[in-house]
Amino acid sequence: METERAMGELRDFKSGKSGKPPRETSPRRLAAIIAGDIAGYSRLMEIDEEGTHGRVKRIERSLIEPSIAEHHGRLVKTTGDGFIAIFDSPVEAVRCGIVIQQQMVGRNASLPRQHWIEYRIGINLGDVIIEAGDVYGDGVNIASRLEGIADPGQVYISGGIYEQIKHKLVCGYESLGDRKVKNITDPVSVYRVLPDPAAFRRTRKRREHILILLLSFVLLVIASGALWYVFWQPHGKLGRQASAPVSPEMPKVPSSPPPTAKQAAPLPQPSTPAAPATPQAAPQVQPVPSVAPAAKQAAPPTQAASPATPATQPTSVMREPEMKILRGGSFTMGSNDDVTEKPAHQVTIKPFAISQYPISVREWNECAAAKACAFVAIGKDDAPITNISWSDAKQFVAWLAGATRKAYRLPSEAEWEYAARAGTQTRYWWGDQFQSGMANCKNCTDIAAAEQPIKVGSFKPNPFGLYDMGGGVDQWVEDCWHKNYLGAPADGAAWGEGECPSHVIRSGSWKNDAQYVRPSNRDGYDTHVRYPTHGFRVALSP
Amino acid sequence: MKITRLIALSIVLTCLSFAAWAQGKPAPKDAVLYFVWPQNGTTIKGGFWCRFGLRNMGVTHAGDDFQNSGHHHLLIDVNEPLDPNEPIAQDKSHLHFGAGQTEARIELPPGKHTLQLVLGDAKHYPFNPPIVSDKISVRIK
């Protein structure tokens, strides 16, 4: 009996819950602080005050409080739309944050968009003062500032938390750099937690909307430009004929104001033969012309110039591969699925850019045309280039870097896997199970083998917006081949420089099965040997 | 050196690409591909050096299109029949030795495995008739 009581006391002491005699302990302690609040709370209240209030309370009771308790945290207080909790362990705090966000996704799924309750969550590690119903200190302020800058449905963590959890919690982190936050002197380094690809896709969608808007705007501009061009084309021709005899006088003409050009629009008919137009325009140059004919003269210089420019541009300006800038961050490279992929290890990637697609036949042949690449490829222009050795790929990037004066190169193996995982830690970027129609691999699609390799970008992009990161063509990276990751660098640099008999290929090809599509899959191949499924993509240092 | 070799190689390949599909380069009838080591039925502890033997033909780099020569491919636990109209596959069970290697360090998980050699031409196609070794079994302890 006595031992039992003693044990009980010991337990109380250990767990920090003060027993019967209230101990006078310092109210200061180090804690991981979670600050959460609902995005657009006032808007929700406006739509449906009572309903929202009821739902928020229900969420607090059935999700927030139990999640915090489950992860050994303590709910300090709830405000109308938010809460603050403290945890002894940063790992538990972040886990709790992820759990809350994931549960909320499920709860919102059945509701219309405007009724979604989405939390923003910020987590910081700080030395704070704890009192009965509240917690104070700039550690708390930073947590709520992080929460303030977080996107709805996201968990943002500070550098302090990140340092504690990066090797312990298997999920992706995206560095957002140092951010200045309100009323805090020093900038805070901020990381976004990427618990699952779904979260990524949501933010992508938002970006897509903006992109689509921008795109349609650009299209509109182009369309109106084209219309304008089509409309003015005949005058251009007319004008050129007219201006030919009077070319010395031309310098006078361009000064005529654009408004006159507008007026002229409905005037001449394209079908009007050039002959009558010529005498009409020509004599009118010497005297200072009246408004309407002046327009005819105003048109030629602009018209003559505009068709000329697009004609010369393609020859002088080289088309560069479409690149995606990745912000870098930390991730777990490798897996336990294959001996070559062990041990899984943490790698930090610096910001870099990677081409959205594997290099295509068209892009390769530009290099071949410049006599900088070894052979001219045959095949469809938008198919990925194949039958490339590592040294061929190196020749291409050397040429591209020289021609563009940009630091084009092959990606390192770590960069490739980081880009392929796109913030996910699952077997495939879309989850642990293979799904047909997601990648170009053997028995994965309905595409006949004869049409291979099919054009780049035929499948869904991963959450980073990259196509064909897995399946399609094998892709060379900079690294020498090592049979596993023992001794691999953790800084994302290429492993092994210069001469080595074989280099790493990634991605798997259309001739390999689904197992090879996994972002962690890797293999080596002879450096100077070409093989029909081997291609590559390029990277760019900032 | 390397550059000249690459140029030579590229010339050969460009010429090749204009030629008809080089499927099934002819091979001498008396060519024999075999394992020097290990022998069929050998029990091996851990990793081992696998040595390839080739009689009446030469070993060259992949891409080099010399008469009566090719490069080695080691097929591990492969059961599918060889397709003479396709390049020899490249994956974890089809190891390529395009640099002209005649031996390789092999590490396999414990258990019974089969090994077979296939000779490939400049473009990784099997010869006509295919030059393949006997399929041997080894046991890894």
Which of A313, A347, A364 is where one domain is finished?
Answer: A313
B92, A523: Cβ pair inside 8 Å? yes
The confidence band for A318, taking pLDDT boundaries of 50, 70 and 90, is confident
Q: Is residue A471 part of a domain?
A: yes
A64 or A108, higher pLDDT:
A64
**CB contact at 8 A, A500 and A457:** no
| Residue A513 scores a pLDDT above 80 | yes
| Contact at CB, B6 and A511, closer than 8 angstroms | no
Residue with tokens 């595409």: A447
- The confidence band for A224, taking pLDDT boundaries of 50, 70 and 90, is confident
Tell me which residue of A491, A160, A102 sits closest to A331, measured CA to CA.
Answer: A491
Average pLDDT over residues A326-354: 93
Residue A378 has pLDDT above 70, yes or no: yes
Cβ B99–A525 below 8 Å, yes or no? no
Higher-confidence residue: A467 or B11?
A: A467
**Nearest CB partner across the interface for B90, out of A375, A501, A533:** A533
- Tokens linked to A93: 């705090």
For chain B, give the percent of residues with pLDDT over 70.
84
Q: How far does B54 lie from chain A, in Å, by closest CA?
A: 21
Q: Are residues A307 and A338 in the same domain?
A: no
- Block residue for tokens 């393609």: A314
| Tokens 């021709």 sit on residue | A237
Band (pLDDT 50/70/90 cuts) for residue A279 is very low
Residues A213 and A331 placed together within one structural domain of the fold: no
Res A197 pLDDT > 80: no
A329 and A475 together in one domain: yes
- Cα A233 from Cα A402, distance rounded (Å): 39
* Nearest Cα residue to A519 out of A423, A380, A385, A393: A423
Yes or no, beta carbons of B62 and A474 under 8 Å apart: no
The DSSP letter of residue A394 is H
What the block records as the tokens of A57 is 């309370």
What residues in B contact A526, CB-CB < 8 Å?
Answer: 62, 96-99
Highest mean pLDDT among A27-41, A206-220, B15-29: A27-41
Select the residue of A338, A339, A511 nearest B89 (Cβ to Cβ): A511
Q: At what angle do helices A197-243 and A90-109 cross, to 10 degrees?
A: 70
CB A341 within 8 Å of CB A421: no
d(CA A76, CA A144): 14
Residue of B nearest to A521 (CA): B92
**Alpha carbons B49 and A92: distance in angstroms, whole number:** 49
For residues A409 and A501, membership in a common domain is answered with: yes
**Confidence at residue A9, expressed as pLDDT on a 0 to 100 scale:** 46
Chain B CA closest to residue A450? B86
DSSP A461: -
Is residue A378 within 8 angstroms of chain B, CB to CB? yes
Is residue A183 assigned to a domain?
yes
Class of the B21-140 domain?
mainly beta
- The answer to the question of residue A73 being in a domain is yes
Token pair for A167: 């090797």
Poorest-confidence range of A115-129, A284-298, A385-399? A284-298
Handedness of CA A332, A337, A338, A339 (dihedral sign): positive
Domain shared by A245 and A384, yes or no: no
Please check whether residue A372 touches B, CB under 8 A.
Answer: no
pLDDT in tens, A106-159: 788 778 888 889 999 999 999 999 887 888 888 999 999 999 999 998 999 999
In A420-473, which ranges are E strands? Answer: none
pLDDT of residue A229: 75
3-class secondary structure, A123? strand
**Cα–Cα dist B82/B94, whole Å:** 11
- Residue scoring higher pLDDT (B7 or B60): B60
- pLDDT (0 to 100) of residue A26: 66
- Choosing among B91, B93, B108, B121, which should be mutated to test the A contact, i.e. which has the most A CBs within 10 A? B91
| Closest Cα in chain A, distance from residue B106 (Å) | 11
pLDDT at residue A504, as a whole number: 96
Instruction: List, in sequence order, every residue forming a beta bridge with B105; answer none if it has no partner.
Output: B49
HSE of A3 in the Cβ direction (CA atoms, 13 Å)? 0
Q: Which of A313, A332, A365 is the last residue of a domain?
A: A313
Continuous segment of H or E residues that includes residue B138: strand B136-140
CA distance A7 to A58: 37
- Nearest residue of B to residue A501, measured between CA atoms: B99
Domain ranges for chain B:
21-140
DSSP H helices, B2-118, are 2-18
- Residues of chain B neighbouring A533 (CB-CB closer than 8 A): 90
Q: Average pLDDT of chain A?
A: 79
Say how far apart CA B136 and CA B76 lie, in whole Å.
10
- What value does the mean pLDDT take over residues A330-358? 94
In a domain, A11, yes or no: no
Q: Please list, residue by residue across A357-375, b when 16 or more beta carbons sit within 10 angstroms of its beta carbon and e when fewer do.
A: bbbbbbbbbbbbeeeebbb
For A247, residues 6+ apart whose C-beta sits below 8 A from its C-beta are none
Which positions in chain B touch A511 (Cβ < 8 Å)?
89-91
Is residue A534 located within the same domain as residue A436? yes
Q: Does residue A10 fall inside a structural domain?
A: no
Q: Which residue has the higher pLDDT, A296 or A155?
A: A155
- Residue A347 burial by Cβ neighbours in a 10 Å radius (0-12, 13-18, 19+): buried
pLDDT tens-digit map of B59-111: 999 998 888 999 999 999 999 999 999 999 999 999 999 999 999 999 999 99
Q: Highest mean pLDDT: which of A33-47, A152-166, A408-422?
A: A408-422
Pairing of strands A188-194, A155-158: antiparallel
For residues A196 and A222, the model is more confident at A222
* Partner residue facing B99 (CB), from A374, A501, A534: A501
Subunit contact A375:B10, Cβ cutoff 8 A = yes
Q: Say what the ipTM of the complex is.
A: 0.83
* C-beta atoms of B92 and A391 within 8 A: no
Residue A372 covered by a domain: yes
Q: Mutate which of A510, A513, A529 to test chain B, going by most B C-beta atoms within 10 A? A: A529
**Would you place residue A445 in the very low, low, confident or very high pLDDT band (cuts 50, 70, 90)?**
confident
- pLDDT cut 90: percent of chain A above it: 47
Q: Which domain holds residue A348?
A: 323-540
Q: Tell whether A203 is covered by a domain.
A: no
User: How far, in Å, CA of A189 to CA of A176, rounded?
Assistant: 7
Q: What angle do the packed helices A291-316 and A274-281 form, to 10 degrees?
A: 110
Are the beta carbons of B10 and A532 separated by less than 8 Å? no
Lowest-pLDDT choice from A19-33, B48-62, B114-128: A19-33
Residues A268 and A134 in one domain: no
Sequence-distant (≥ 6) Cβ neighbours of residue A79 within 8 angstroms: A37
A41: CB partners within 8 A, 6+ apart: A52, A80, A81
Q: Note whether residue A220 is domain-resident.
A: yes
Flag the least confident range among A36-50, A113-127, A262-276, A461-475. A262-276
Residue A286 has pLDDT above 50, yes or no: no
Statement: residue B2 has pLDDT above 80: no
The minimum CA-CA distance between B89 and chain A, rounded to whole Å, is 8
Residues A272 and A399 grouped into a single domain = no
Are B123 and A501 within 8 A, CB to CB? no
Nearest to A512 among B10, B13, B91 (CB): B91
State the Cα–Cα distance between residues A405 and A29, nearest whole angstrom.
Answer: 54
Among A144, A171, A195, give the residue marking a domain's end: A195
- CATH number of the structural domain spanning residue A180: 3.30.70.1230
Which residue's structure tokens are 């291409």?
Answer: A396
pLDDT at A314: 41
**Rounded average pLDDT over A29-52:** 90
Residues A172 and B128: their CA atoms lie apart, in Å, by 51
In angstroms, the CA A508 to CA A528 distance is: 19
According to the model, what pLDDT value does residue A447 have? 63
Spatial distance between the Cα atoms of B52 and A440, rounded to a whole number of angstroms: 34
Q: Does residue A341 share a domain with residue A413?
A: yes
**H or E element that contains B117:** strand B111-120
Q: Say how far apart CA A52 and CA A44 lie, in whole Å.
A: 6
Question: Are the beta carbons of B6 and A391 closer than 8 angstroms?
Answer: yes
Is the same domain home to A305 and A159?
no
According to the model, what pLDDT value does residue A518 have? Answer: 95
Q: Do both A340 and A420 map to the same domain?
A: yes
Residues A176 and A282 in one domain: no
Check which CATH number belongs to the domain holding A523 and give it: 3.90.1580.10
Higher-confidence position of A66 and A262: A66
How would residue A261 be classed by pLDDT, with cut points 50, 70 and 90? very low
Q: What is the pLDDT of residue A157?
A: 94
The domain total for chain A is 3
Best of A516, A528, A534 to substitute, by most chain B Cβ atoms within 10 angstroms, is: A528
- What global pTM score does this model have? 0.55
pLDDT of A235-259, one tens digit each?
Answer: 434 334 333 333 333 433 333 444 4
